[in-house]
Amino acid sequence: GQNNTITPESFYNEYIRQRKPVVLRDMTTSSSPLLSDLSKLTKWKDINYLKSQVNPKQTVMVEQRSSCSSNNPTKSTFGNGYEIPMTFPQFASLIASGQDDRHYLTTQDVHSNSDGRPDLMSPLMKYLQHDFPLQPCIMGNLIPQNINLWMGSSQEGVSSGLHHDYHDNLYIVVKGTKRFRLYSPHDTEWMYTRGGLAKVHPNGRINYQGEETTAYGADLKSDMAARAAKRKEDAEQLLEEAEQAVEEGVEGADQLLEEAEVELEKAMDDIIDAEVDDDDDDDNDDDDDPGSPARSRWLDDTSNKNAAQSSRSDSPPPTRSDPSMME
């Protein structure tokens, strides 16, 4: 993309809205005002700088793979879910040595508040948050769902395995290179998925059997209940207005009142239906929402980098398992 001409509006309309991947080159060194708020990330190229910003006792979960011989560097890939704890300085020292390709820093767990709402970032990222904006200018009004750091080192390159994310990504490569191999949602039925395929929404979100959601990631029953509650609220407002019209002697008010009462009765029926435990009732699945912020993507990537990612989503990313399976 042309960094010097792009705007938040054009970025959204030309790429995000159309689910179209785009590469913005030199994001952290661009002179464009829309990208200048990312310039501090260049300091992350110095791993000693990162170590100096993080509490020496901060523990991180690091993916570990078995040793790979030079004859078979892909003997073991990341993404199998095997993780070990270590302090961030310990991990950073392994990467700084340039000799360690067995360890990889990936998504860290986040804490939740008293209401159960997850934090925007992990404790590790909070030590570094003074170096990046919570809402990059290029993203306009979009709000990030999660901010993560990935870090690893390899001479031959390593793969995180074939998988799909449930959210749009702004992926910033700070050091090294990363290759994304993307597959269309239309190819899902020919892929080795982690579960039985139930459907693929028009916006690309994959649903597995027993894990069906709306196009934007909401639980079907929760979505049905929310829609029923909204219909009841609207019906009550309509009834109140009709009753007021009757009192004022407005022509046709009696007919409006009768229609409002019928609508409220239907809304109450919806409330009752939403409370019934019926796993087969998915008629309220909103799979025609073209504006949904969720997008399924398949990535087969080879990387040697320090990277920061800001992403927006309505559901948490999946846990990676067997890299030979798409999840």
What is the pLDDT at residue 68?
52
> Which is higher by pLDDT, 81 or 314?
81
Domain assignment of residue 325, yes or no: no
Q: Does any domain span residue 3?
A: no
Confidence tier at 168 by pLDDT (50, 70, 90) = confident
The answer to the question of residue 324 being in a domain is no
The pTM of this model reads: 0.65
Q: Domain check: are 154 and 194 in the same one?
A: no
- Residue 138: φ, ψ to 5°: -65, -20
Is residue 224 a part of any domain in this protein?
yes
Do 24 and 101 lie in a common domain?
yes
What's the pLDDT tens digit per position in 273-301? 888 755 455 444 444 443 333 333 333 33
User: Are residues 211 and 224 located together in one domain of the fold?
Assistant: no
Question: Among 126, 160, 181, where does a domain finish?
Answer: 181
Do residues 174 and 210 share a domain? no
Is residue 255 included in any domain, yes or no? yes
Determine how many CB atoms are found less than 10 A away from the CB of residue 184: 11
Pair 253, 224 in one domain: yes
Residues 118 and 33 in one domain: yes
Q: Is residue 246 part of a domain?
A: yes
- What CA–CA distance (Å, rounded) separates 44 from 24? 19
- 166 and 28, same domain (yes or no): yes
Same domain, 87 and 114: yes
- What residues make up the domain containing 266? 220-276
Same domain, 141 and 116: yes
Q: Tell me the C-alpha distance between 49 and 135, whole Å.
A: 23
Look at residue 163 in the predicted model and tell me its pLDDT. Answer: 80
Residue 295 maps to a domain:
no
Is the residue at 50 inside a domain?
A: yes
Helices and strands of the chain, counted as H and E runs: 6, 12
Per-residue DSSP letter, 162: S
CA distance 241 to 134: 43
| 115 shares a domain with 85 | yes
Task: State which of 245, 260, 276 marks the end of a domain.
Answer: 276
231 and 82 within one domain:
no
The pLDDT tens digits of the residues spanning 3-23 come to 457 888 999 999 988 888 888
Confidence category of residue 157, pLDDT binned at 50, 70, 90: confident
pLDDT at 305: 36
Q: What's the mean per-residue pLDDT of the chain?
A: 79
Together in a domain, 25 and 159: yes
Question: Which of residues 233, 249, 276 is at a domain's end?
Answer: 276
Number of domains composing the chain: 3
Query: Which of 47, 32, 74 lies closest to 323 in space, CA to CA?
Result: 74
